[in-house]
Every structure is written in structure tokens, then in C-alpha cells.
Homo-oligomer: A and B are copies of this chain.
Amino acid sequence: MEKALQELLDVHAIQQLMVRYADRIDANDPEGAAACYTEDGIGEYWGTFRGRKEISDVLSVILSMFSATSHHLTNTSISLDGDQATAMSYVYAFHRMAGTDEPLHYWGRWVDRLERTDEGWLFAQREVVGIGSIEPESFQTGANSPISVHPGHPGRLQR
């Protein structure tokens, strides 16, 4: 039972890391969000960003587009392997555009690789995978807008 308890504790700790990440994003704190990664962590935000500094910088650019964000985390699925883990979770995010306050809605997945460190569990890699979005007209920058590209649910089958 000790092993089962330890697994529950690890799952809970990883879920809390995910909650903390969303809290820091919604607090408009890109450095705090980047601190949820390992020192050399990799963030995939419509491009690849390496290390906390690059991740903080790209999050800063993204967050500057919005006057408010709200990232609602659900469906956490976590596979533990000692001091490593992989995870997928769902996110629905409400945003208000800076300037106009128009709403932007986003549905996606967070696909994570995690490591247990001296600072607790941290993201070694985190990728945002889009499922869909509803954007204000002012936001739409055509088919080249990376945020409008939605790869869809990981492993979605063609039938």
C-alpha cells in the first residue's frame, strides 16, 4: 500500500503543478509560469522555446495580447515512471483581448513530460495542442495565424 500511496501523492503533486502553472499564467506572471519548468525545460507554444528565459519571454508576448485569461484544467491523465512522468490534460481558456476586451475562447490539450527535482515535480517539456478556438474578428490574421492551427485530439482516429 505504501507504493500506491506514493503514486497518489505524486499524481496530486503533478496536478498541483498544473494548477500552479495556470494560476501564474492567469496572474500575468510569465516568470512564475516559466519557473514550473526545469532549468532546461522545453515549451512548445506554436514554436519551440528552450529554458526558463526563452519560455518566460514567449509567454510574456502571448500574455500581452490579453487583458484577462482564465485557464480551466480538467481530465488530467498521468503516467508515473519513478522520477519521470508523462501527462495529458485538457484546458479550456477564456480570454479578453487587450484593448477591445472582446472574448476569445480556446480548447486544447497540454501534453507534458515531467521530472521529479529538488524543487518537486517540474515540466521537462510541455506542448500546447489546439482542438479549437473561437476568436473575435479583429484577431483573425488568416490561415497563417499559428494559434488558429488545431492539430486536434492526440491520436484522433480517421474513420
B77 & A153 in contact (Cβ 8 Å cutoff): no
- Bound state CA distance, A107 and B74, in angstroms? 15
Query: Closest residue of chain B to A2, judged by CB?
Result: B1
Interface size on A, residues (CB 8 A): 49
Work out how many copies of this chain go into the complex.
3
Chain B residues contacting A111 (CB-CB under 8 Å) are none
Q: Mark A117-159, 1 if CB is under 8 A from B, else 0.
A: 0000000000000011010000000000000001011111111
A103 B75 Cβ-Cβ under 8 A = no
23 contacts between A and B (CB under 8 A): A1-B5, A8-B9, A19-B75, A19-B77, A23-B88, A26-B156, A27-B153, A27-B155, A27-B156, A28-B156, A28-B157, A68-B132, A68-B156, A69-B153, A70-B90, A70-B153, A73-B75, A74-B74, A92-B92, A92-B94, A94-B107, A96-B132, A103-B134
From residue 15 to 30 of chain A, which have CB atoms closer than 8 A to chain B? 16, 19-20, 22-23, 26-29
Chain B CB within 8 A of A72 CB: yes
Is A94 in contact with B19, judged by CB distance below 8 angstroms? no
Question: Hey, which chain B residues are within 8 Å of A76, CB to CB?
Answer: 19
